[in-house]
Structure 1
Amino acid sequence: MEKETLNLNSDVHEFIQMNIGSEYSITKASEDASFRKYFRVQEKDKTIILMVAPPDKEPLDQFLFLAKSLKARAAKAPEIYAFNHNLGVILQEDFGAYSLMHHYQEPDKKNDNLIFDNLNETIIHLQKSCSDIDLPIYSSQILLNELSLFHEWYLKDLEFDQKKLESIYFYLITKIEQQTKKFVHRDFHCRNLIINDGKICLIDFQDALIGPITYDLVSLLKDAYHKKNDSQIIDVCIKYWELARSCFDVPPDFGDFFVDFEMMGVQRHLKILGIFKRLFLRDEKKQYINDIPLVEDYVIDVSEKYPMLSYLKELILNKREVEMKR
């Protein structure tokens, strides 16, 4: 075993040794916006992912339940090899380190159309085959709680008109509630989608709900970590819509479907702006501050098209002005 412990306590090392033996090395794999951390354990010619999650903040139950449920429905979720609830640790299948973000960084982006076709088919498969999993509904209250993060954290120390903002929240929730509800991964973005042998592999799915049909599509196409051009967004959206309308109740007119997509995007991005600001201010995860401008741009772009949302552009521009003066 390597001497470096990476701040893992002796109980965690004992857990690893109990399950794979004493001959292993361990390196940091990644961490996310939650309290979870991931490590890559090398054992002879095989690697395994170790997930460490503080039991009081990130219980393992839902992740374990969903990993089993998704695999049973032919979704590409990791095999679970061992876990310990008290320690908050899981040893799971390693899909490799090549995420969709790595694909985006390729200079020639080989097989781009094929990958996006696979991504669309993955969303459709999850919606068709996994919507019977016993999951909470993405209720209007959850949507509102998420939207509240925008004014509680992003607009912190900025004056705003509460009534105007509440009317926008109500408008967004009303539009979103009209959408067909299916399985929602809820974090279907480039850092959580691993490409392995041409297949789309899922991680970080523990917050899944049954919710709006456009949610995972907008997470993919208006990704907080990567900007796509408008023509690609429209093209992939049309392809998804063509697949979805043969399976689900979606608007027969693509223009109406795209409005649903954009309203869902605004809700998600307002939530993300609040979360990224909270990560910066409360959790001292300073790297997320660099991702805020892209998410702001998404909201500004849509608010320019829909007069009902125009106040959001005003707020974001005011916020940018305040930040520039600091």
Structure 2
Amino acid sequence: MTGLVLERLLADETQTARLGEDLALSLRPGDVLALKGDLGAGKSTLARALIRTLADDAGLDVPSPTFTLVQSYDTRIPVHHFDLYRLSSADEIDELGFDEALAQGAALVEWPERAEAHLPKTTVLIELVQHGDGRLARLSGQGPAFDRAARSLAMRDFLVSAGWAQAQRRHFIGDASARSYEIVSLPGQKPQVLMNSPRLVLGPPVRDGKPYAEIAHTAQSVSAFVAIDRALKAGGVSVPEIHAEDQEQGFLLLEHLGSEGFLGSDGQPLPERCAAAAELLAMMHGRTWPQRLETGHGGFHDVPPFDREAMMIEADLLVDWYVPAITGSPASGALRAGYHKQWGALLDRLHGREYTLMLRDFHSPNIIWRGDRSGHDRLGIVDFQDALIGPSAYDVASLAMDARVTMSPEIERKTLDAYVAARHVAGAFDEASFLESYAIMAAQRNSKILGIFVRLEKRDGKPYYLKHLPRIRDYLRRALSHPALASLREFYDAHGLLEERAL
């Protein structure tokens, strides 16, 4: 097999199992890992560890598929364990349902030489050979699966450098970006969060020779997270302590703020928690935040502005993705021109309004509830690397119109009331100006989200975001009910943008 090659020395069975764990964390549906080695080389040990990691079950029975030829496991990513030793012909791999298995999940193949020509070119080959008293694992391949495996091994190297060489790794959470998070644990230690934040791939130019992420000011490296984490902590916000970092590679070992989500046990918003989060925002918005923040080691991160170009490129996601999805054809030039005219007039109204450090995604997935604490410390805040300097109303809209959970008009109002009351207590506060900014930012954000959720389905193959669209349309109707947005509402109504549609 041609491509890149990585080698790892495995001193014993424990290190072989750890390699299986590391590879499991890199797997995606459609991946093929081919295990090659003599009898007793450690293939079964590696395969067993990989499958148990995906199942998050250290005691899972993982029998050898020597006689059944294939064994399937309904794990986080379904994995199908093939043993081709008894194949009499390479063509028999088709009879085992190999292609169907890849359509559902990943494949782990022992004795791949029996059907090598039938394996995808993107297969990652893992050869295990004796090396002194241990083994040498040689990984080779090309393409995304190999790149992910290599990055997972680099994450293990980072853990080694941080003093967590023997840590157990388990998948924690991923998001709509390329970032992912794991829980790492060692006996006698508090679990930590391993953050994997590869440098942002900017993509093709979309406007004025610039890619979307540059115009929207999306964070390009983990240094933004480090800088904002330091600033928020200094400002009295409970954010993760950074225990170890490799900003160049994009790895951080973080404090685990807790396991209780911000929502209730039934997944529904709790008014008192929403009010507490609103009061935290009010405290933050009463502070002055520097635009240039230290990243450590003499580096700096300049927090970008949520400027007009960024607001419009986000709002344009509605006409770029949502409109074609509901009409069956691209948005017309006339619709685009009218849309830009309406939004241009609204964005003009933000001139002179209160701007502050804006975390951008201040909503339930990024808030940890810690009921044993008091005051603002009850709220642990994560995922803020894309913060900007923008209207204070934006984060309040993100919280009170949570994209992932239905915030009833009553809870939205209570959340707003808690914020407004806290701002009045703190000093002079222009409530009318804020509420108008809130409506504008809520309309901009929810227009953007309609486009993003369609894009995630159409471009990225993630259809489960479409179930949120009715909620987002309802939020948009609420935002557009403000008198200052009457003209924009008429425009949306005229083009059917608020109608319930099944995509």
TM-score by length of 1: 0.87
Q: Secondary structure at the match of 2:183?
A: strand
Alignment of 1:167-186 (within 5 A): 167-186=341-360
Answer yes or no: is the 8 Å Cα contact 1:152–1:274 preserved in 2: yes
Q: Secondary structure at the match of 2:191?
A: strand
| Larger CA deviation: 151-160 vs 186-195 | 151-160
Per the alignment, residue 265 of structure 1 pairs with: 442
Q: Secondary structure at the match of 1:39?
A: strand
Per the alignment, residue 49 of structure 1 pairs with: 193
> In the TM superposition, what is the alpha-carbon distance from 1:318 to its structure 2 partner?
7.8
C-alpha spacing 1:311/1:192, structure 2 compared with 1 (3 Å): same
| Larger CA deviation: 26-35 vs 306-315 | 306-315
1:99 paired to 2:261: yes
Q: Which is helix-richer, 1 or 2?
A: 1
Q: 2:452 aligns with which of 275, 287, 294?
A: 275
Q: 1:310 aligns with which of 483, 490, 493?
A: 490
Answer yes or no: is the 8 Å Cα contact 1:193–1:203 preserved in 2: yes
Q: Secondary structure at the match of 1:20?
A: coil
1:150 paired to 2:318: yes
C-alpha spacing 1:186/1:90, structure 2 compared with 1 (3 Å): same
Structure 1 or 2, whichever has the larger Rg, is 2
Q: 2:389 aligns with which of 207, 210, 222?
A: 210
Amino acid at match of 1:105: D
Q: 1:219 aligns with which of 398, 414, 421?
A: 398
Alignment of 1:231-242 (within 5 A): 231-242=410-421
Cα RMSD (Å) of the superposition?
2.5
Compare relative contact order (CA 8 Å, sep 6+) and give the higher one, 1 or 2. 1
> In the TM superposition, what is the alpha-carbon distance from 1:153 to its structure 2 partner?
1.9
| CA distance in structure 2 between the partners assigned to 1:182 and 1:41 by the alignment | 35
1:75 paired to 2:233: no
Answer yes or no: is the 8 Å Cα contact 2:275–2:414 preserved in 1: no
C-alpha spacing 1:77/1:307, structure 2 compared with 1 (3 Å): same
> In the TM superposition, what is the alpha-carbon distance from 1:292 to its structure 2 partner?
1.9
| Larger CA deviation: 213-222 vs 303-312 | 303-312
Q: Secondary structure at the match of 1:27?
A: strand
Answer yes or no: is the 8 Å Cα contact 1:51–1:90 preserved in 2: yes
CA offsets 1:114-142 (integer angstroms, 9 cap, x no match): 42332122102222235234322221221
Consecutive unaligned residues in structure 1, runs of 5 or more = none
Q: 1:19 aligns with which of 162, 166, 169?
A: 162
Per the alignment, residue 298 of structure 2 pairs with: none
Answer yes or no: is the 8 Å Cα contact 2:279–2:418 preserved in 1: no
| CA distance in structure 2 between the partners assigned to 1:307 and 1:128 by the alignment | 30
| CA distance in structure 1 between the partners assigned to 2:153 and 2:182 by the alignment | 15
CA offsets 1:265-313 (integer angstroms, 9 cap, x no match): 0011111112222222222232222222211221134435653122224
CA offsets 1:144-177 (integer angstroms, 9 cap, x no match): 1211222112223344422321122113312333
Tell me the number of residue pairs that the alignment of Structure 1 and Structure 2 aligns.
Answer: 317
> In the TM superposition, what is the alpha-carbon distance from 1:50 to its structure 2 partner?
0.6
Percent of pairs with identical residues: 24
| CA distance in structure 1 between the partners assigned to 2:495 and 2:428 by the alignment | 35
Q: Secondary structure at the match of 2:316?
A: helix
1:195 paired to 2:357: no
Consecutive unaligned residues in structure 2, runs of 5 or more = 1-16, 27-148, 202-219, 293-302
Per the alignment, residue 290 of structure 1 pairs with: 467
1:89 paired to 2:232: no
Answer yes or no: is the 8 Å Cα contact 1:149–1:274 preserved in 2: yes
Q: Secondary structure at the match of 2:405?
A: coil
TM-score by length of 2: 0.58
Amino acid at match of 1:4: E
> In the TM superposition, what is the alpha-carbon distance from 1:81 to its structure 2 partner?
1.1
| CA distance in structure 2 between the partners assigned to 1:249 and 1:292 by the alignment | 38
Q: Which is strand-richer, 1 or 2?
A: 2
Per the alignment, residue 275 of structure 2 pairs with: 117
